[in-house]
């Protein structure tokens, strides 16, 4: 029930609209209850009119006709008023429902933006998207429409039940007798259905994750002709959703006929007992008509009680999944009223820095045992790996540093600490003498630009992608950044030049083109620290040379970290840092390291650090980089 009450909290901004909606629903229900009463009077008028006609009582017949006309007009008016009230109530409920959807989307997306990068390293995009779509829809439908329907059903039971008891207490109690049984059975259904519905929602999330992953990796799928495998995998996910949905459907099929049968049993009893009362003149035909219509009004809410509880259970299950995300506290926080990073020139220091990651692989665990992902991060890890251990580094402002080492040696992890994408486990990272944890993240990250080996472009224009880190840049500045990154010529050749949309993730461009746009984006941001994570890996030798000339100019007076696999890039650095198993094992310039570092000589001889990892004598590995 805690989740249910928390969901009700989303209604607070809509108290006024909700109150009006409930008031309109109540008035509409009064109009609905009025119709059977007036219908009973009309039946009595018709009956009297027939009797007066038999006795040729013309004056009484005229009076009965007039009464019947008035009653018909009043009934018609009540129906029209009920329609108008219902229309207004539905419009308000729809606005509330859409407002809740808007608020929840903003809340979920905003919270995800505040979570640290390591959270997303452990989660599937499809799982998170399912919470922001499928689960959100279930919550907003119940809060926007389901609650009002519950109120309307309760009012129907109350008003119609009171009216029947007022007409004939004994018969009214007989008619209301099934209600307690329906409530008890519905509660049992709710308890039984809750875990089944929760499992359905989880399997839908897994299906969404599979679909998102397959579409995102469609190039790989087609390159390896693995379409049949992906279809079979997706079919398996669909089958899991189907099987679990059938479990929930069987529960519903078991309870709903019982819930529907009990009101009909009450109706049969009323027809039998009430009919005899009319025959023996204990009940008028008009009263019996009123009673019958009121009882029919009760059948609908009683039969739909199971459906309503199903909506509530689905909303509660979905709400619990949404709260799993919202309750996950950000673990990379900035101090309250954190000051901006002071001006500086890019002096970077790492003092006694260590970093460890959990070994637990949540991504793979999804398919090994498709259960709920760990969103709270409190699952006990099987082991922990030291990615960086007691790293000390002092990089002078404006210098270029190359980081080399085998795969998993901690190169990317090290540079990720500078813009505080991750927090150190021990030690401190300083930029211009200031601990990066003591300043605002916005100011820190605006001082650092990263160009990765797999650049991500947004589904926007070329100009918008280049200006992403500095939206206020003029078009002339965007053009200049493109020229410096050797991107201007190919951009101009695109159908709409800088206004060309690059498609999702920039896949309409080649790898080298995406890389150069990413470099232009970093150059336009004008950071004091530039991180190039194998940034020239996707370009040919000729283009790489052109980019290097541009980067030499761009890096003038700017601290630059380079993770590169090409010796032509490494050898020109002011300082080279050699990493092995998360530790700095050597540093110096190219000539010094050739003389002093066996590992560096191996790297030079093999040409690529990855090859070093594959050909060096195997040793027990304790770390894993990003």
| pLDDT for residue 607 | 61
Q: Which two tokens stand for residue 565?
A: 């696999």
User: Would you say residue 294 has pLDDT above 80?
Assistant: yes
| pLDDT for residue 129 | 84
| pLDDT for residue 547 | 65
| pLDDT for residue 350 | 94
Residue 296 lies in a domain: yes
- DSSP class per residue in 463-479: HHHHTTT-TT--HHHHH
Residue 250 lies in a domain: no
Residues 293 and 353 in one domain: no
CATH of the domain at 30: 1.20.1560.10
Residues forming beta bridges with residue 586, ordered by sequence position: 578
Residues 296 and 399 in one domain: no
Residue 196 lies in a domain: no
Residue 270 lies in a domain: no
Residue 16 lies in a domain: yes
| pLDDT for residue 613 | 31
| Residue 283 contacts residue 277 (beta carbons within 8 Å) | yes
Which pairing describes strands 529-533 and 448-451: parallel, antiparallel, or unpaired?
parallel
- As a whole number, mean pLDDT of residues 537-549 equals 64
Rounded CA separation 122/364 (Å): 10
User: Would you say residue 436 has pLDDT above 90?
Assistant: yes
User: Would you say residue 623 has pLDDT above 50?
Assistant: no
Residues 396 and 324 in one domain: no
Least confident of 353-367, 578-592, 605-619: 605-619
Residue 49 lies in a domain: yes
| pLDDT for residue 568 | 64
Residues 63 and 117 in one domain: yes
pTM (2 d.p.): 0.73
| pLDDT for residue 432 | 92
Confidence of residue 621 (pLDDT cuts 50, 70, 90): very low
Residue 443 lies in a domain: yes
| Residue 325 contacts residue 131 (beta carbons within 8 Å) | yes
Rounded CA separation 555/529 (Å): 9
What percent of the chain stands above pLDDT 70? 85
Rounded CA separation 404/518 (Å): 22
Average pLDDT, the chain: 80
pLDDT in tens, 297-348: 888 777 777 677 778 888 888 888 889 889 888 888 888 888 999 998 899 9
Residues 315 and 353 in one domain: no
Residue 53 lies in a domain: yes
Residues 314 and 353 in one domain: no
- As a whole number, mean pLDDT of residues 71-75 equals 88
User: Would you say residue 408 has pLDDT above 70?
Assistant: yes
pLDDT in tens, 87-107: 998 899 888 888 988 999 899
Residues 325 and 353 in one domain: no
Residues 325 and 395 in one domain: no
pLDDT in tens, 179-210: 888 878 877 777 777 788 878 878 888 888 88
Start-end of H helices in 142-177 = 147-167, 169-176
User: Would you say residue 213 has pLDDT above 60?
Assistant: yes
Total structural domains in the chain? 2
Is 429 buried (19+), middle (13-18) or exposed (0-12) by CB count in 10 A?
Answer: buried
Residues 398 and 318 in one domain: no
Least confident of 25-29, 251-255, 311-315: 251-255
Residue where the block lists tokens 């390293």: 121
DSSP letter, residue 330: -
Residues 310 and 391 in one domain: no
pLDDT in tens, 131-155: 888 888 889 888 888 888 888 888 8
For residue 3, which of 139, 178, 158 has the smallest C-alpha distance? 139
Residues 417 and 514 in one domain: yes
CATH of the domain at 490: 3.40.50.300
| pLDDT for residue 287 | 84
Which pairing describes strands 575-580 and 583-588: parallel, antiparallel, or unpaired?
antiparallel
Q: How far apart are the two ends of the chain, measured CA to CA in Å?
A: 41
| pLDDT for residue 80 | 93
* Residue ranges making up the domain that contains 92: 1-168+285-332
Residues 320 and 459 in one domain: no
| Residue 79 contacts residue 101 (beta carbons within 8 Å) | no
Q: Please give the C-alpha separations between residue 139 and each of 1, 97, 244, 323, 609, in angstroms, as whole numbers.
A: 14, 9, 20, 12, 51
| pLDDT for residue 615 | 29
């Amino acid at each position: 029930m805690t989740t249910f009450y928390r969901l009700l909290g989303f209604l607070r901004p809509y108290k006024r609209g909700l109150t009006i909606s409930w008031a309109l629903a109540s008035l509409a229900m009064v109009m609905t209850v009025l119709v059977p009463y007036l219908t009973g009077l009309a039946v009595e008028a018709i009956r009297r009119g027939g009797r007066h006609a038999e006795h040729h009582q013309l004056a009484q017949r005229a009076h009965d006709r007039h009464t019947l006309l008035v009653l018909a007009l009043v009934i018609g008016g009540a129906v029209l008023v009920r329609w108008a009230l219902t229309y207004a109530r539905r419009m308000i409920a729809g606005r509330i429902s859409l407002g809740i959807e808007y608020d929840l989307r903003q809340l979920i997306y905003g919270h995800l933006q505040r979570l640290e990068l390591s959270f997303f390293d452990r989660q599937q995009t499809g799982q998170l998207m399912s919470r922001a779509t499928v689960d959100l829809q279930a919550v907003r439908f119940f809060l926007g429409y389901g609650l009002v329907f519950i109120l309307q059903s309760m009012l129907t039971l109350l008003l119609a039940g009171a009216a029947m008891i007022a007409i004939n207490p004994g018969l009214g109690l007989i008619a209301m007798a099934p209600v307690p049984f329906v409530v008890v059975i519905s509660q049992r259904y709710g308890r039984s259905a809750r875990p089944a519905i929760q499992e359905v929602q989880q399997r839908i999330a897994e299906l969404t994750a599979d679909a998102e992953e397959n579409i995102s990796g469609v190039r790989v799928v087609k390159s390896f002709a693995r379409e049949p495998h992906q279809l079979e995998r997706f079919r398996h996910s669909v089958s899991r959703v189907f099987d679990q949905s059938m479990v929930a459907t069987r529960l519903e099929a078991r309870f709903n006929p019982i819930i529907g049968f009990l009101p009909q049993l009450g109706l049969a009893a009323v027809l039998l007992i009430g009919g005899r009362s009319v025959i023996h003149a204990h009940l008028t035909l008009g009263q019996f008509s009123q009673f019958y219509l009121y009882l029919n009004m009760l059948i609908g809410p009683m039969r739909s009680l199971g459906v309503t509880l199903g909506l509530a259970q689905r909303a509660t299950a979905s709400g619990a999944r949404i709260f799993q995300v919202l309750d996950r506290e950000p673990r990379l926080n900035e101090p309250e009223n954190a000051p901006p990073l002071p001006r500086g020139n890019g002096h970077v220091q790492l003092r006694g820095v260590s970093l460890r990651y959990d070994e637990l692989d949540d991504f793979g665990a999804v398919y090994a045992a498709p259960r709920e992902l760990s969103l709270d991060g409190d699952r006990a890890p099987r082991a922990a790996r030291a990615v960086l251990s007691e790293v000390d580094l002092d990089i002078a402002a404006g210098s270029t540093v190359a980081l080399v080492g085998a795969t998993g040696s901690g190169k990317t992890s090290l540079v990720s600490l500078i813009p505080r994408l991750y927090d150190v486990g021990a030690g401190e990272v300083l930029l211009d003498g200031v601990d990066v944890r003591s300043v605002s993240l916005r100011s820190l990250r605006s001082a650092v630009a990263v160009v990765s080996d797999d650049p991500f472009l947004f589904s926007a224009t070329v100009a918008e992608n280049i200006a992403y880190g500095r939206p206020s840049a003029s078009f002339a500045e965007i053009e200049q950044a493109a020229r410096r990154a050797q991107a201007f010529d190919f951009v101009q050749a695109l159908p709409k030049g800088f206004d060309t949309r690059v498609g999702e993730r920039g896949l309409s461009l080649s790898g080298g083109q995406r890389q150069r746009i990413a470099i232009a984006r970093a150059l336009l941001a004008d950071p004091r620290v530039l991180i190039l994570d194998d940034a020239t890996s996707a370009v040919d030798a000729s283009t790489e040379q052109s980019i290097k000339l541009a980067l030499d100019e761009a890096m003038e007076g700017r601290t630059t970290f380079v993770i590169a696999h090409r010796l032509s890039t490494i050898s020109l650095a002011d300082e080279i840092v050699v990493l092995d198993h998360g530790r700095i094992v050597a540093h110096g310039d190219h000539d010094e390291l050739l003389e002093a570092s066996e590992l560096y000589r191996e790297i030079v001889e093999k040409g690529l650090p990855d090859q070093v990892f594959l050909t060096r004598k195997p040793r027990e590995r304790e770390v894993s980089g990003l």
